[in-house]
């Protein structure tokens, strides 16, 4: 058998899908040591972010089983052939759950009664975060993101009226964020905080936007775009698109128009990304959930004519292209762009 230098093996493995690597771990100690190495995991993630970042979506569907009082959460991936493939199904305690967007291939979801879970659908692993026994009745919302400064994932948890706690996965503990409360930092509970480029963002009680540095754990405020200052704040929506904070303005009388603004954090100002217009149907219940690398096509998810709808909108031609998902029948699901990863949920 021909000898293959280790650097070539390393390079080949870093380009393979996660499921193939899971099988190769049992072939040799060398393969196993490569695949478990944190530097390899990072290199593998970067390779697949570039190659598959536009093509892979993850759909989450929550199934309530009333007879035995349990809930199941199912994760499906969709790649360029638009066929939904089941990745992972897990039973959880009976509750109403909110599923947050994929972050580096990991997904956080939380229940109305305070339980928080983080999973990797590709490796089929999950961590149930410890509960904070006090204040469960005042629990409001959660956010999930990656702290690049300290190399760990964090969950931020909001309580009413002004308590914030943060869970650091590398040490497995909750810590209270100590700050002087002000309405300009207070969490306005009409959507979970959004994670983008090292910061959590949310609308404050005083109608500004709060930015929370996940590494330094410090607060700042951001003004809204000038055109949105007098808008109904409950018709403004924050999203993350390709790692950047965006604001969606749905406050238009005919409900057939959506404006999207992108925040340039280095320059600290808003730039209009574009306008989405539907000629015949209201789109005030749709949300941008992804964008192509060339920023010409935006992925939209929401309800059109009363049915769950997934489509791409071309910013240059103004045309909608429906995505017809094969192998998935539910109209009620969560979707986000996704990259399959080897990252461990316990770190």
What b/e readout covers 55-86, taking b as 16+ CB neighbours within 10 angstroms? ebbbbbbbeeeeeeeebebbbbbbeeeeebee
Q: Which contacts of 83-90 are long-range, i.e. CB under 8 A and separated by 24 or more positions? A: 83/325, 83/326, 83/327, 84/59, 84/325, 84/326, 84/327, 84/328, 85/327, 87/58, 87/121, 87/122, 87/124, 88/119, 88/121, 88/122, 88/124, 90/119, 90/126
**Residue entry with tokens 């039973």:** 91
Question: Rounded mean pLDDT of the chain?
Answer: 83
pLDDT category at 134 given cuts 50, 70, 90 is low
pLDDT tens column, 333-345: 888 888 888 888 8
pLDDT at position 121 is: 92
Which 3 state secondary structure label does DSSP give 151? coil
For residues 344 and 122, the answer to whether their CB atoms sit within 8 Å is no
pLDDT band for position 282 (50/70/90)? confident
As a whole-number percent, the residues of the chain with pLDDT over 90 amount to 21
Question: CA angle, 92 as apex, 103 and 18 as ends, to 5°?
Answer: 40
pLDDT per residue over 42-76, tens digit each? 888 888 776 655 568 888 888 887 777 788 899 98
CA angle 239, 244, 246 (to 5 degrees): 40
Which residue would you say has higher pLDDT here, 266 or 133?
266
Q: 1 pLDDT band (50/70/90 cuts)?
A: very low
Beta bridge partners of 84: 78
Confidence of residue 143 (pLDDT cuts 50, 70, 90): very high
The confidence score (pLDDT) of residue 240 equals 93
Lowest-pLDDT range of 256-260, 271-275, 304-308, 325-329: 304-308
Domain ranges for the chain, please list them: 6-45, 135-337
Average pLDDT over residues 14-19: 83
pTM, 2 dp:
0.88
- Give pLDDT tens digits for 167-223: 999 888 888 887 766 666 677 766 899 999 999 999 887 778 889 999 998 888 888
Sign, Cα dihedral of 74, 247, 288, 291: negative
As a whole number, mean pLDDT of residues 76-91 equals 82
Query: For the chain, how long is the longest CA-to-CA vector?
Result: 72
Alpha-carbon distance 184 to 253, whole Å?
A: 29
Which of the residue ranges 10-24, 74-88, 121-135, 225-239 has the most confident prediction, judged by mean pLDDT?
A: 225-239
- Ranges 39-48, 85-94, 127-136: which has the least confidence: 127-136
Element (H, E) at 11: helix 6-13
Most confident range (mean pLDDT) of 33-37, 68-72, 121-125, 293-297 is: 121-125
pLDDT of 308 strictly over 80: no
Q: Which of 37-51, 224-238, 277-291 has the lowest mean pLDDT?
A: 37-51
When pLDDT is cut at 50, 70 and 90, the band that residue 161 belongs to is: low
Beta carbons of 193 and 182 less than 8 angstroms apart: no
How much of the chain is helix, strand and coil, in % rounded to 5?
Answer: 15, 45, 45
Strand, helix or coil at 43?
helix
């Amino acid at each position: 058998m021909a000898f293959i230098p280790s650097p070539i093996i390393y390079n080949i493995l870093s380009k393979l899908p996660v499921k193939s690597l899971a099988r190769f771990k049992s072939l040799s100690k060398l393969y196993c040591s490569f695949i478990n190495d944190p530097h390899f995991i990072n290199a593998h993630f970067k390779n697949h972010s570039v190659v598959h970042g536009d093509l892979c979506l993850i759909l989450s569907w929550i199934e309530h089983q009333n007879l035995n009082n349990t809930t199941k959460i199912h994760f499906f991936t969709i790649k360029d052939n638009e066929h939904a493939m089941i990745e992972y199904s897990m039973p959880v305690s009976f509750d109403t759950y909110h599923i947050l967007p994929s972050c580096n291939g990991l997904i956080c979801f939380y229940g109305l009664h305070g339980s928080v879970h983080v999973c990797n659908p590709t490796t089929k692993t999950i961590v149930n975060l410890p509960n904070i026994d006090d204040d469960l009745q005042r629990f409001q919302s959660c956010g999930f993101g990656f702290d690049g400064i300290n190399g760990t994932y964090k969950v931020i948890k909001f309580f009413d009226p002004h308590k914030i706690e943060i869970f650091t996965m590398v040490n497995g503990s909750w810590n209270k964020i100590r700050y002087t409360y002000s309405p300009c930092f207070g969490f306005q509970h009409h959507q979970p905080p959004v994670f983008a480029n090292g910061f959590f963002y949310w609308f404050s009680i005083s109608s500004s936007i709060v930015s929370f540095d996940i590494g330094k754990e410090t607060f700042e405020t951001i003004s809204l775009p000038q055109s949105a200052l007098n808008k109904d704040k409950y018709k403004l929506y924050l999203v993350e698109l390709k790692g950047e904070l965006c604001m969606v303005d749905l406050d238009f009388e005919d409900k057939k128009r959506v404006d999207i603004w992108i925040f340039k954090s280095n320059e600290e100002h808003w730039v209009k990304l574009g306008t989405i217009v539907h000629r015949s149907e209201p789109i005030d219940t749709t949300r941008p959930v992804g964008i192509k690398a060339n920023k010409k096509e935006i992925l939209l998810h929401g309800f059109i004519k009363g049915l769950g709808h997934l489509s791409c909108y071309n910013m240059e031609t103004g045309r909608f292209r429906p995505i017809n998902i094969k192998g998935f029948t539910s109209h009620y699901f969560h979707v986000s762009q996704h990259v399959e990863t080897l990252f461990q949920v316990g770190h």
